[in-house]
Structure 1
Amino acid sequence: CISSPVCPPSCWRPSCLCYLFSRSALSWHEARDWCNGHESHLVILMSDEEWDFVTRLSAGSFYWVGLTDEKSGRWEWVNQTPITWTSTHWRRERPDSWTGHGLGPGDEDCAHIHNDGRLNDLHCSTRLRYICQRHSQRS
């Protein structure tokens, strides 16, 4: 189940980005596929303004975002754009690619927003809520 799209108050044009916050939990890959199948994608946060808007709405919960190092070994968004901001958005001493989770092969290759509003790396099979992003349907 997913909420109605949430758009920033200043969003009045069709090119504006809106966000869908899930109410159910999926693995990172399932969440990516769900978003893609619903004319959206896992959220890509390219500006501080987007970051502030999304983390304000996600406060107190864990949400998958469209950030992974699974394929290339470097952290990049689902559109293959490398992250461009500094480590200030990561939790302290993260990402750490921890392998002691007991969840099978692989380390922590997928990122989520932690309940404190910072990024954390986690095993992709973990089931969390997720945030999809799409263009506004406004005209």
Structure 2
Amino acid sequence: MNRRGRVSSGTAVVFLHGSYGQSKTLLQNATEWYCVSNISAGKQEGCVYCPKGWKHFQEKCYYLSADKMSWPESVQNCTGMMGSQLVVINSKEEQEFLFNLAKEVSTKAFETKFYIGLAASESGQWQWVDQTPYNKAATFWKPGEPNLLFAEKCAAIHVKGKRDPNTYSNWNNVLCFTSCYRICELTVKYV
């Protein structure tokens, strides 16, 4: 580890402590992991790590893709990136963070779409990719959404440019084969 708090090499190796005091080796296909100070009750307790190019918020690292894929391809792509998943949004604070992050990278297109880990089953029941229970009261759908549930079974955050004010009302259901960007999430690594 160098003085900037990052681990560098062709493959990053970080030693972590397991739940039974055993050391585990995290071997990932990433060139750099960055240290983010872990401050608890006003004292620094070491670092949490996110891969290079990922953004840290609370206990997660987030990756916003630069390319577009369908929803099933996005699920597979996120899972293949260090065991991450399409993002599961659990709070208003997380929604606000992700929406503002998406606004920073939004394209010049009228609307930029980012897949999240929410899709409807054949019966029309919404389901998160990690099986977190779907709570309609804790969602951020655009007014009138979700609609056309017989066809549009995958959810995405929609951003209308860098000045879009719709922080808490921007989810839309889309056709799952639509090419969209994606947001992957990964739990931070502690050292």
Give your verdict on TM over 0.5: yes
> In 2, distance between residues paired with 1:88 and 1:67?
11
> In 1, distance between residues paired with 2:182 and 2:123?
22
Q: What are the equivalent positions in structure 2 for 1:100-111 lying under 5 Å apart?
A: 107-111=151-155
Which of 106, 121, 132 is residue 70 of structure 1 equivalent to? 121
> In 1, distance between residues paired with 2:138 and 2:80?
31
> In 2, distance between residues paired with 1:66 and 1:72?
18
Of the two structures, which has the highest relative contact order with CA contacts closer than 8 Å and spacing of 6 or more?
Answer: 1
> In 2, distance between residues paired with 1:87 and 1:134?
21
Give yes or no for the alignment of 1:95 onto 2:139: no
Give yes or no for the alignment of 1:134 onto 2:186: yes
Give yes or no for the alignment of 1:40 onto 2:66: no
Which of 99, 120, 123 is residue 175 of structure 2 equivalent to? 123
Which of 28, 46, 50 is residue 71 of structure 2 equivalent to? 28
Query: Given the two structures, how large is their TM-score scaled by the length of structure 1?
Result: 0.80
The answer to whether the Cα contact below 8 Å between 1:70 and 1:110 also exists between their aligned partners in 2 is no
What is the Cα deviation at residue 91 of structure 1? 0.8
The answer to whether the Cα contact below 8 Å between 2:127 and 2:134 also exists between their aligned partners in 1 is yes
The answer to whether the Cα contact below 8 Å between 1:22 and 1:130 also exists between their aligned partners in 2 is yes
CA separation of 1:91 and 1:68: change in aligned 2, threshold 3 A: same
Which one has a larger percent strand, Structure 1 or Structure 2?
2
The answer to whether the Cα contact below 8 Å between 1:74 and 1:82 also exists between their aligned partners in 2 is no
Name the counterpart of 1:103: none
Name the counterpart of 2:27: none
What is the Cα deviation at residue 129 of structure 1? 0.3
Q: What are the equivalent positions in structure 2 for 1:8-23 lying under 5 Å apart?
A: 8=57, 11=58, 16-23=59-66
CA offsets 1:66-114 (integer angstroms, 9 cap, x no match): 0001355211211122322427611111000266xxxxxxx00000001
Q: Which has the larger radius of gyration?
A: 2
> In 1, distance between residues paired with 2:88 and 2:155?
11
Give yes or no for the alignment of 1:58 onto 2:102: yes
The answer to whether the Cα contact below 8 Å between 2:124 and 2:149 also exists between their aligned partners in 1 is no
> In 2, distance between residues paired with 1:130 and 1:67?
12
> In 2, distance between residues paired with 1:73 and 1:88?
16
> In 1, distance between residues paired with 2:134 and 2:90?
8
The answer to whether the Cα contact below 8 Å between 1:108 and 1:123 also exists between their aligned partners in 2 is yes
Q: How many residues align?
A: 124
CA separation of 1:20 and 1:127: change in aligned 2, threshold 3 A: same
Say which SS state the counterpart of residue 76 (structure 2) adopts.
Answer: helix
